[in-house]
Amino acid sequence: MIVTKKFFKLSAFVLSIFLISNCMTVISFTHPREIHFNNSTSNCESTAPFGLVYGGLRANGRYLKDVSTEGTHPHSMTPTWLSIILTILEMPFNLVADTILSPITIYRATSENLAIRRANNQIKSLSEEKLKSTAKDGSISCSELSEKD
């Protein structure tokens, strides 16, 4: 009976740490990723805010940079110093989760980069007048262009 209670408490603690600590990895892994046309650069780009490979660590690094320069959001109930400490404590767990997910994320990132490259090659082959006219009416679909050969 004592072993069962200890095991249950330890399991609950480990599960809660895993669920709470890996939120940046989960967010970067499940974030919707689309390819869109950027009118200013006339290129297709990814909408992802941070990279896919080791995205949890990248997101933590970006968050630490933002929090250390700007502080936490004004409506946040967490003080800046506590937010920094919790993010630093979360990073080893993100490293483990990102490493476990790396075969999948490398495949997805490679596929995404190839699709963007294919779409940009198709855009380069369009005439300048056609590119301007299609960009104005929003009819450039990077996803469709990336599927063409």
Closest residue by Cα to residue 69 from 57, 78, 61: 61
Residue 43 bridge partners (DSSP): 38
Q: Which residues contact 51 (CB under 8 A, 6 or more apart)?
A: 28, 58, 109
Question: What does each of the 149 residues of the chain score in pLDDT, given as a tens digit?
Answer: 566 777 777 777 766 665 555 577 777 777 777 777 777 777 888 877 667 788 888 888 888 888 888 877 777 777 888 888 888 888 888 898 889 888 988 888 888 888 888 888 887 777 666 666 665 555 567 766 666 65
Q: 49 with 117: CB under 8 angstroms?
A: no
Closest residue by Cα to residue 67 from 77, 81, 53: 81
pTM above 0.85, yes or no: no
Q: 35 with 45: CB under 8 angstroms?
A: yes
Q: Residues, the chain, total?
A: 149
